Amino acid sequence: MHPVLDDLITLLGLERIEENIFRGESRDIGSPQVFGGQVLGQALSAAQRTVEGRVAHSLHAYFLRRGDMNAPIIYEVDRARDGGSFSNRRVVAIQHGRPILNMAASFQNPEGGLSHQTQMPDVPAPEGLKDLTHLAADKLDKIPVKLRRFMTDQRPFDFRPVEQSNFDEPKKRPPEKHVWIRAVDRIPDDNALHQNLLAYVSDFELLATSTLPHALPFTRGNVILASLDHALWFHREFRMDEWLLYSMESPNASGARGFTRGQFFRQDGTMVASTTQEGLVRVLDPSKTRKRSDPREQV
């Protein structure tokens, strides 16, 4: 397996400390703090380790504090309920004695029922599109070092955006975008693992969709984005080593918060998951900027 993808799968696997307590490490991918999708995927992994025979169908999480990449994260799972068809788990991610994420996840016995879905957007196929790292190659001298690493480091996934972005001189455009996503190598046949990986990638690009109508130049370093909450629903089975279209939109931004939602589709048009997220979006006056700890502490 590709070493970067293998490392991510190991990262999501977690170490069991006690019956309902797990420990995870972090990786610096170039984001200002521990990547939110990593904590989300690990929290779901911790919850899954306490459920047998049932499949996750939804999760709802709040990001409370930024994560420290140099310290382990402890995940405490509360087995809130095991009913006839559904199980519910509450997970708290803890660092330095304080919670950094709260999550509730629900699991269901697989069963049949009514089925319908929305239509997949009509966009170009991934085979004719460039990966995000190639699109950023000719802009590297204009991208801050931290963002440059985020854009160009080896990743466990290929990201092929349908709409190209101009990082230094953006233009106002509708608050919607589409990105094809696929793991860089084959992944074992483990449905729970594929769900963890989708939870991980669901935090990529989503909140930034709310900035598109405002043409914010991220290269200036005066835009603060921080996820506040995240919800995810799994509708049908999928594989992360096959192309998925991530269709994102932002129907509202107000009160220094952007509201976004997304849908995942298999290449054959089957809808497999939905997500929503609200996050902090602040544009600072460069002449008044100062070093901040966690932007969530300002809320």
Integer Cα distance of 175 and 251 in angstroms: 7
Tally of CA atoms within 13 A in the half-sphere of 216 that contains its CB: 20
CATH numbers and ranges of domains, the chain: 3-109+125-298 (2.40.160.210)
Q: For strand 271-283 and strand 86-95, is the pairing parallel, antiparallel, or unpaired?
A: unpaired
Checking if the pLDDT of 299 tops 50, the result is: no
> Which residue reads 């999760």 in tokens?
59
Give the residue-averaged pLDDT of 27-38. 87
Give the residue numbers marked as catalytic. Answer: 203, 227, 277
Q: Which pairs count as long-range contacts for 146-149, CB under 8 Å and 24+ apart, including other chains? A: 146/30, 146/31, 146/32, 147/30, 147/218, 147/219, 148/30, 149/29, 149/30
* Mean pLDDT calculated for residue range 96-105: 98
Q: Which residues pair with 87 in a beta bridge?
A: 82, 107
Reported as a single tens digit per residue, the pLDDT across 156-196 is 999 999 998 766 677 899 999 999 999 999 999 999 999 99
CA distance 46 to 77: 7
Q: CA–CA separation, 232 vs 44, rounded Å? A: 11
Dump pLDDT digits (tens) for 220-265: 667 889 999 999 999 999 999 999 999 999 999 999 999 999 999 9
Question: Full-prediction pTM beyond 0.85?
Answer: yes
* φ, ψ at 131 (rounded to 5°): -70, 155
- Please list, residue by residue across 23-49, b when 16 or more beta carbons sit within 10 angstroms of its beta carbon and e when fewer do: ebebeebebbbbbbbbbbbbbbbbbbb
What would the DSSP string read from start to end of the chain?
A: --HHHHHHHHHHH-EEEETTEEEE-----SSSSS-HHHHHHHHHHHHHTT--S-EEEEEEEEE-SPPPTTS-EEEEEEEEEE-SSEEEEEEEEEETTEEEEEEEEEEE---------PPPP----GGGS--HHHHHGGGGGGS-HHHHHHHHS--SEEEEESS---SSS-----SEEEEEEEESS---S-HHHHHHHHHHHTTSSTGGGGGGGGT--GGGS-EEEEEEEEEEEE-S---TTS-EEEEEEEEEEETTEEEEEEEEEETTS-EEEEEEEEEEEEE--GGG----S-GGGG-
For range 82-94, the mean pLDDT: 98
pLDDT at 150: 59
pLDDT above 90 covers what percent of the chain?
Answer: 77
Higher pLDDT, 174 or 152: 174
Whether the CB-CB separation of 60 and 47 falls below 8 Å is answered with: no
User: What pLDDT score was predicted for residue 172?
Assistant: 92
**What's the pLDDT band for 135 if we cut at 50, 70, 90?**
low
**Distance, CA of 199 to CA of 188 (rounded, Å):** 17
